[in-house]
Chains A and B, each alone.
Chain A
C-alpha cells in the first residue's frame, strides 16, 4: 500500500491526542504519584516527608492489614471457583433450551449483572432481613434458627460471596454459552453415533473443549474479586466494618477516614502488585497452554 508517512503520522497524532491527554492525566500520572506517595508520610491532600519503606514495613505487623489481606483471600476463595462452577452448570442447562425460551431464561439469569451494586444491596438486605426478610420465613419453615447474617462475622463473607455470585454470574454464564455454541454440533453427532452416554459426553467432549473458557472465566473473576469493595462496604454499614475489612476497604479507611495518604498508598501499591502479578502469571500460563496445543 502506498503511504505518505509524514501525513499519516500527523493524522495518527491528531487521533490519539485526546486519548493521550486523558490517559496521561488519569492513568500514568496517578500511578506514578501513587508509588511516590507510598514512600511519604503525607496526609490525603498536602505534602509529606520522605520515609522510605516505613509504610511498607509497618504493614507487616499490622492487625488491620492482616485482616484485610486474609479476608480478601477468603472472599476470593469463596466466590471465584464456586461462582465459575455455578455459572457452568447454569450455562449447560440454558444451552439445552432453544429460541425464545432460551432468551427468556438467559435474561432471568443475566438481569442481576446489569443492576447497580446499591440496588443489589437493597434487594438482598431486604431478602435476608433478620426481622422481615423472606429468607428468614423460609428458615423458620425449615426449622433453622434465624441469624442476623450481615451482623455476624462468620456469616458475613460467605453471604457477601453468595450475593456476589448471584450478581456477577450472568456475565460468566454468557461466556460459557458462547463457548458452548462454539463447539460444533457434528462433534456431538459423531459421539452419539459412537454410543456415548450423557456423562461421558460431558466428561470427554464438552468439558475439555470448554476448558479455555473456564480458564478465562476463572481469571476474570479472580482479578475482579481481588478488587472487592462495594458489596463489603455496603453490607457492613451499621455492622462491624473492622472485622470485615478487605484490601480496597482498608485503602479507603486509611486515606479517607484516617487521612493518611502515604500509608494508604502503600496498601494500594501492594494490591496493585498482587493484581499485576496475578495478571502476568495468568497471561503466561495461557500462552504456555496455547503453545502446548
Chain B
C-alpha cells in the first residue's frame, strides 16, 4: 500500500465518520425541535421561519400542563401501573425461570413449550377477549385492569432461565452442602448473583409498560384513569390546538423513560439485546 492510497482511505474513513455524525444529529433533531418549540410562547411557535432557539424562553406551557390539566393524575396512573406490571412480571418470571432452569418436575418440557409458544402469539389479537375478561372482572378503569394483560412477557422468563443456566453447578452444590433449602438457594444465592440482569430487565419492563398504548387506551374510558401515554393524545380539548402546550405535555410524558434510559444506558441496551436472544 502506498502512502497516497493510505491517505485516500483515511479520507474516505473520515468522510464516513463525518456523515455518521451529521445523520446522528439530524436523527435526534425532531426531539430537539419538539423540546425547543415547547419552550417558546405560542405566537413564536407559529412564526413562518426557522428559529433554532427561543427568542423568549418560557415555561408557561409546562406550568399550564401541570396545573390546568389532569397530567399529574395521569403520571400517578402511569407510575402505578408501570411499577406494578414491572414488579409482578419480574417476580413471577424469575420464579418460573428458576424452576425451569434448576428443578426437575413433571410437565417441565410442556411448560417450556407453552412459554416459547406465547412468543409467537400476537397479544394485539387478544384485545377483544382481554377486554371481555377485564370487563367481566369489573376491572375496566382500574390500575389492575391496565396491568393484567401486560403480564404476558415470556422474554423475561427466557432471559432468567438462560442466566440461571449459566450459573456453574458448583454454586448449587456448595449451597446444598451448606444446608440451604430450595428457597434459600434461590433467594440467597441465585437471585443476588444475578442482580445485574434483574435491574436491566426491570428497567426495560418499566419502559415497555410505560410506553404501552393499545391496551391502556382500550381499558380506560374515564379521563382521570388514563395513563399519560394515552392521556396526552386523547384529551386534546384540554389544550386546544396549541402546539406548544401539546408538545410540553409530550415532553412530560417522554421524560421519565428518557431519563431512565440516559441514567441506565448500559443496562437498557444490555436488556434489549438479551431480549432479542443475543448474549449481551
Please say whether the chains A and B touch (CB closer than 8 A): yes
Residues of A that sit less than 8 Å from B by CB = 1, 3, 5, 7-9, 11-13, 15-16, 18-19, 22-23, 25-27, 29-31, 33-34, 37, 44-45, 90, 93-94, 96-97, 103, 105-112, 114-119, 121-124, 126-127, 129, 131-132, 134, 137, 166, 171, 174-175, 178-179, 195, 198, 213, 216, 220, 223, 226-227, 229-230, 234, 237, 248, 251-252, 255-256, 261, 264-265, 268-269, 271-272, 275-276, 279-280
Q: Separation in Å of the B253 CB from the closest CB of chain A?
A: 5
Pair B132/A33 contact, Cβ less than 8 Å: yes
Pair A108/B20 contact, Cβ less than 8 Å: no
Pair A15/B128 contact, Cβ less than 8 Å: no
Q: Which residues of B contact A12 (CB under 8 A)?
A: 99, 103, 105, 108
Pair A16/B257 contact, Cβ less than 8 Å: no
* A19-B92, A116-B253 given; A121·B233 CB < 8 A: yes
Pair A114/B258 contact, Cβ less than 8 Å: yes
Residue of B104, B105, B132, B258 touching A44 (CB-CB under 8 A):
B132
Pair A107/B262 contact, Cβ less than 8 Å: yes
Give Cα A280–Cα B117 distance, bound, in whole angstroms. 10
- Pull 14 A–B residue pairs with CB atoms less than 8 Å apart, ordered by A: A1-B169, A11-B182, A22-B148, A27-B118, A33-B133, A108-B28, A119-B229, A122-B246, A122-B250, A123-B31, A175-B278, A178-B280, A216-B276, A255-B127
Residue of A26, A29, A114, A134 touching B33 (CB-CB under 8 A):
A134
Report the nearest B residue to A182, measured CB to CB.
B278
* A118-B229, A126-B33, A261-B132 given; A8·B105 CB < 8 A: yes
* A15-B103, A97-B17, A252-B127 given; A123·B250 CB < 8 A: yes
Q: Which residues of A contact B31 (CB under 8 A)?
A: 111-112, 115, 123
Pair A29/B133 contact, Cβ less than 8 Å: yes
Pair A178/B278 contact, Cβ less than 8 Å: yes
Q: Which of B53-61, B65-73, B191-199, B206-214 contacts A (4 or more CB under 8 A)?
A: B206-214
Taken residue by residue from 239 to 280, chain B's Cβ proximity to chain A (1 for < 8 Å, 0 otherwise) reads as: 000010011011101100110111001001100110011101
Pair A271/B114 contact, Cβ less than 8 Å: no
Q: Separation in Å of the B122 CB from the closest CB of chain A?
A: 5
Q: Name 18 extra pairs, CB < 8 A, besides A16-B99, A31-B126, A256-B131.
A: A15-B96, A25-B148, A30-B126, A34-B128, A105-B24, A107-B262, A114-B211, A115-B254, A116-B229, A116-B257, A122-B247, A123-B30, A126-B34, A171-B272, A198-B9, A255-B128, A272-B121, A276-B120
Pair B253/A119 contact, Cβ less than 8 Å: yes
Pair A251/B99 contact, Cβ less than 8 Å: no
Pair B272/A105 contact, Cβ less than 8 Å: no
For A7, A37, A174, the residue with the greatest tally of chain B CB atoms inside 10 Å of its CB is A174
Q: How large is the interface on B (under 10, 10 to 19, 20 to 34, 35 or more residues)?
A: 35 or more
Pair A195/B254 contact, Cβ less than 8 Å: no
Within 8 A of A (CB), among B133-186: 133, 135-136, 148-149, 151-152, 157, 169, 172-173, 182-183, 186
Give Cα A56–Cα B8 distance, bound, in whole angstroms. 63
Within 8 A of A (CB), among B198-228: 207, 210-211, 213-214, 218, 228
Pair B265/A117 contact, Cβ less than 8 Å: no
Pair A126/B46 contact, Cβ less than 8 Å: no
Pair A251/B278 contact, Cβ less than 8 Å: no
* A116-B253, A126-B33, A129-B243 given; A27·B229 CB < 8 A: no
Pair A114/B207 contact, Cβ less than 8 Å: yes
Q: Which residues of A contact B79 (CB under 8 A)?
A: none
Tell yes or no: B111 within 8 A of A by CB.
yes
Tell yes or no: B3 within 8 A of A by CB.
no
Tell yes or no: B124 within 8 A of A by CB.
yes
Pair B127/A16 contact, Cβ less than 8 Å: no
Q: Separation in Å of the A92 CB from the closest CB of chain B?
A: 8
* A18-B95, A116-B213 given; A226·B128 CB < 8 A: no
Residue of A90, A132, A226 touching B23 (CB-CB under 8 A):
A90
Give Cα A29–Cα B183 distance, bound, in whole angstroms. 30
